[in-house]
Amino acid sequence: MSSLNASFSRNISFVRPEYFFIIGFSGEPYSNYYYIFLFFTYFLTMIGNSIVLLIIAFERSLHSPKYIGVFNLALADIGETNALIPNMMKTFLFDSQYISYNACLANMFFVFLFSSMQSFTLVVLAYDRFIAICLPLRYHTIVNNTSMVLVFSAIWAFNTTIVALMVSFITRLSFCESNRIQSYFCDHGPVYRLACNDISINKIMAFLITSLYLIAPLLLIMLSYMGILLALIRITTWEGRLKALKTCVSHLLLVGTFFLPLFCTYLLQLLLSLTPNARVISTSLAYAIPPTLNPIIYVLNTAEIKDIFRKVLKNRSVPTVSISK
């Protein structure tokens, strides 16, 4: 009975605020202009990625393993952007900086879920390029539509489980001192650091998330491109090497736009100890800009999609001739 009372006492000791207060920018008189800029990136992201989704969905020639990955990336871009920017508009442009406890956890879950999907999708696309260049004769055996659907289904299930576990550990925390989040959304680190009880498991989860979705994917991508470079060396002609390398340009640009801003933000934070406002700007740009650029990169650097646009424009430019009797 005493153990039951002790357990009950531990349960009622959790202090969960009804609301959190998201600080965002502090002391910046022109911050509204920045939020308006982010709204335009949201508008471009939604249009660009929706076009990519529709093209892949309705163009049968794009129903291939590579474009299943591109479709998944566009879907993750839309999800992350919707989880971040509309909430920012509501929070800061309309002075609604309070967010309920449950809504905060939901916001955290969806931002990290879709961000993790972006990271893992880039790894799968790197694997696709690795097999295509290093094992071209076995490509259609190893990489096909069925295997890609299974891989992405497993990734969605795995990421959902890991991110849900990370968020669930927030519910074990007591917030008995402050409910002011020093960020522009319900970011995991700024939230768990507000707690006044043991946060060791949350620190472990933060390290796991960073390692699993930032460091490990970049290392895997680098390893895949080391293999690709070794395969290119074995190609005897420069024309063959350039032709093979050209198929990787779009993916390399996607990797650069996703990982470089995030790594630069982490390095600046470690080396220079960024001010809260500088951290808000750097991290929000790191999250907002890649989904905006991804569809542009694929439209401009992918021959198949450019050919589809040319056909559509050519069909519209050809006048219809009516034959009178």
Q: What is the pLDDT of residue 324?
A: 44
Residues 71-91 as b/e (b if ≥16 CB within 10 A, e otherwise) read bbbbbbbbbbbbbbbebbbeb
Cα–Cα dist 273/212, whole Å:
24
Q: What is the pLDDT of residue 6?
A: 42
Helix, strand, coil tally for the chain in percent (to 5): 80, 5, 20
Q: What is the pLDDT of residue 131?
A: 93
Q: Is residue 308 part of a domain?
A: no
Q: What is the pLDDT of residue 58?
A: 87
Domain that holds residue 215: 17-302
Q: Is residue 210 part of a domain?
A: yes
What is the count of structural domains for the chain? 1
Helix (H, G, I), strand (E, B) or coil at 181: strand
Q: Is residue 51 part of a domain?
A: yes
Cα–Cα dist 253/99, whole Å:
36
- List per-block mean pLDDT (blocks of 10 residues) for the chain, which spans 325 residues: 41 75 77 83 93 88 88 94 88 80 94 95 94 89 93 96 96 88 89 90 93 93 93 82 83 90 80 76 87 83 69 62 45
CA 246 to chain centre: 24
Identify the CATH number of the domain in which residue 73 sits: 1.20.1070.10
Cα–Cα dist 230/223, whole Å:
11
Q: Is residue 7 part of a domain?
A: no
Q: Is residue 317 part of a domain?
A: no
Q: Is residue 1 part of a domain?
A: no
Q: Is residue 133 part of a domain?
A: yes
pTM exceeds 0.85: yes
Single-letter amino acid code for the residue at 285 = L
Q: What is the pLDDT of residue 13?
A: 63
Element (H, E) at 22: strand 19-22
Q: Which residues does residue 22 pair with via DSSP β-bridges, in sequence order?
A: 181
Q: Is residue 76 part of a domain?
A: yes
